[in-house]
Structures are given as structure tokens and as C-alpha cells.
Amino acid sequence: MAARTRRPLRHIDYWPGFVDALSTMLLVIIFLLSVFMLSQFYLSRDVSGKDTALNKLNKQVEELTSLLALARASNNDAQANLINLAATLKSSEAEKANLQALMAANNANASASGGLVAAANQKLEAEKAISAQALSQVDILNQQIAALRSQLAAIQQALDASEAKDQASQARIADLGSRLNLALAQKVQELARYRSDFFGRLREILGNRPGIRTVGDRFVFDSDVLFASGQAKVSDAGKQQLDQLAGAVGLLDQEIPPEIPWILRVDGHTDDQPIHSDNFKSNWELSAARAISVVQYLITKGVEPNRLAAAGFGEFQPITKGTDPGARAQNRRIELKLTER
């Protein structure tokens, strides 16, 4: 019987191709993830506080993140398939090597060995089909990545349009701010004019009486003019002074336009000597009580409550640093200041 011609076995190494495909796919996905993370960073920094259109864009970015997560999951599946294919190929190669060893050791059993080789070849063909399916999945991933790039480009265009709109809005806001500042400055100047007239009228009404003076933009009553020592109840002599003050405030309320939000602030101050009283635990309480008493008395004389405010400063805002009786008497005072709400 003639010896059969032995056909050499073809050895095809698929592994480098799979590794290259997997490396390329991973690099593309990593690049896309980097681009997406950078885009997400700038988007999250620049889009914060924008209008409804930007919120819609954020929703689209979230949808893209979900699509990318699905793509990563599909990539992980493809990678697992490739690893399985690589393991199967290694197993097939090992089986093929075993078959070749058996064929070399037992030429008499060539027909049986040929059957085993045929079976191995069939298994290799099946593995090739699986590899082709994995490559098809890679193509699908590439298509999804291209779609993601297109959506990111559309988002960038929308962001550029939003930034242009925001710049125009900022310009309008700056213009409105300058107008508002101008209007406020005019109101302040107008209030300053009424303050000057008001203090001038008070000086005419009260005259150059001891214990009553003007300090800067404030009209000052010494506490001794209005209160007894350590007391917060307005004295009879103090009520006479406040009656004249209430009349001046009433005239002022008629002269100042209603759109100017003015108030007459009554500030109570004491000296730095500690207080010993059952009614007041500190100079701060005494100063606040005196300011409130003045406000309450002015209200009884017809001054509108919404035009008055009371504040107590204790001994912490002296107008002189001396500790002699004269300096302390100056620090014990009630200040009237015409200001804005």
C-alpha cells in the first residue's frame, strides 16, 4: 500500500491581530473618556447658573454619560470575548501540538490522526466565526463612538451660543447697575439735602441750648437733658425738647417725597462707668432702653413708627477718649441721624 503524502499543517497566529484591535479600541475609548471628562468639567463649571437651555444641555450630557457607560459595558463584554477566544486558541494550539506529536509517534494510525486533525480544524473554524462576531461588535462600538462625537460637537455649539447670550446679558446687567448706582446717588444727595434742612430747622427751633449740638451728620442730645441719672424714662424737661423735635419730624415727613425710604435713627450711648442698677444689667441695656423711650415718646406725638428706629451702643462708641467728668458727660448722649432704611 502506497504511503500517503503528508500535508503540512498550517499554523495561523491570530493573537497579534486581536491584541492590536483590543489596544486600538481601548485607546479610542480612553481618549473619548478623557475628552468627555474634560468637556464635562468645563461644562459643569461654565454652565452652572445658566438658563433653561443649559439645563437641557446638562440632561443631554447625562444621557451621553449613560450611552458611554453602555458602550463601556459592551466593550468589557467584547474584551471578555476576546480573552475567551485567546484562551480557546491557546487550547486549540495545544491540542494541535498533541495531535502532531501523536502523528509523528504513530504513522500506522494516520487515518485516525487525520480524523483528529479534521476535528481540530473544525474547532478552529468555529473559533474564527466567534472572532468575526467579536470584530462585528467592535465595529458597532466604533459607530456608537462616532455618534457620541457628533453629539458632543452639537453640545459645544449650543454652549458657544449660550456664552454669547450670557455676555450680552452681562452687558445689560452692567448698564442697569450703572443706572441703579446713579439713581441711588441721586437719592442719597437728595436725602442729604433734606438732612441739612432738617438739622438747620432743629437748630432754629432748639437754639444754642446747653447739651444740644450738631456733630457731623448727627444731632446730639446730652443724656442729662432727657433723662435722670441711671434712668430710661424721659424727664419732663426732656419731653419739652422732644415735643419740638416731633414737630420738626412731622414737617420733614411732609416735605420728603414718599419714594425716598428715610428713617430717623435714635442711637443711645453711655459712658464707660459700670452701672449698678436693678433695672439694667449693663450700660448696653440702659442705652437701648433710652433710645426706645425716645422713639416711643415721638410716636405718641404723631411721628409715624415706620420712620423711626432705635439702637443701643452702650459705652462702645465714645466721641471722646477722656475719663474726666466732662468727657464722660459728652459720651452720655442720644444721637439722631437721618438715614435710609
Asked whether the predicted pLDDT for residue 1 surpasses 50, the reply is no
Binning pLDDT at 50, 70 and 90, where does residue 50 land? low
Architecture of the domain whose range is 208-340: 2-Layer Sandwich (3.30)
Q: Residue 191 pLDDT > 60, yes or no?
A: no
- Cell for 339? 438715614
pLDDT tens digits for range 154-177: 888 888 887 777 777 776 776 666
SS3 229: coil
DSSP for 301-335?
Answer: TT--GGGEEEEE-TTSS-S----SHHHHHHHSEEE
What pLDDT is recorded for position 187? 53
Tell me, rounded to whole angstroms, the distance of Cα 23 from its chain centroid: 41
How many whole angstroms separate alpha carbon 341 and alpha carbon 334? 19
Which H or E run contains 282?
Answer: none
Work out the percent of the chain whose per-residue pLDDT is above 70. 77
Q: Are 249 and 199 in contact (CB under 8 A)?
A: no
Confidence of residue 80 (pLDDT cuts 50, 70, 90): confident
Average of per-residue pLDDT across 247-265: 84
pLDDT at 292 (0 to 100): 97
- Kindly tell me if the per-residue pLDDT of 212 is higher than 70: yes
pLDDT value for 305: 94
pTM across the whole model: 0.45
